[in-house]
Amino acid sequence: MSLLFKELDSVETVKRVARFFNKDYERLFLLSGSRLTDISSPSLSPAPGHTVGNHNEAALIQGITAGAMIDAVNDAINKCSYSSQVILKNLLIRKESWQDVKHQLYCEGHKLGYLRKRACLEFADAFDSSQIRHKCQPVIDLHVYKENDEGELVENKRVI
């Protein structure tokens, strides 16, 4: 039990990291790459008669934000241990088979499950500071913390 940190729900944190890579990462990647290269010279003034706002400006801002988030993801992955980097890049991003990743890490199936969990937890820890470093808005916390019966976060308290 840590004196500095709230009690982490590691099972739910691993699920949240996996969901991030399965649902959000690919879209972020597409937004960061295709949006920035498709807009050669955006017009930042609104079109006549268009009251919703400038679509090119919104797309450019969204692309820049997505680009910063992708940079933060890559930075966070590079802070992780070697085995975690292999798992994050090959299993979660490139969607390689478990069999292929097991061979790359020279490990058995049950060990890969443990290493995947560790990789997700390492990534969640590194991702916070990487987002701040790359000026991402908003900063997404992939951690899930344990709650008590009243729905309050469990904090580690010490009575002296």
Q: Please write the tens of the pLDDT for every residue from 120-140.
A: 999 999 999 999 999 998 899
Domain count for the chain = 1
73 within some domain: yes
Q: What one-character-per-residue DSSP string does 84-109 give?
A: HHHIIIIIIIS---HHHHHHHHT--H
Question: Does residue 18 sit within a domain?
Answer: yes
In a domain, 83, yes or no: yes
Residue 129 domain-assigned? yes
> Is residue 45 domain-resident?
no
Query: 């934000």: which residue's tokens?
Result: 65
Q: Tens of pLDDT along 24-41?
A: 988 888 888 633 333 232
Strand partners, 145: 8
Parent domain of 71 = 5-38+56-160
Question: Does a structural domain hold residue 46?
Answer: no
For 73-118, write each residue's pLDDT tens digit.
999 999 999 999 999 999 999 999 999 999 999 988 789 999 999 9
Is residue 23's pLDDT more than 80? yes
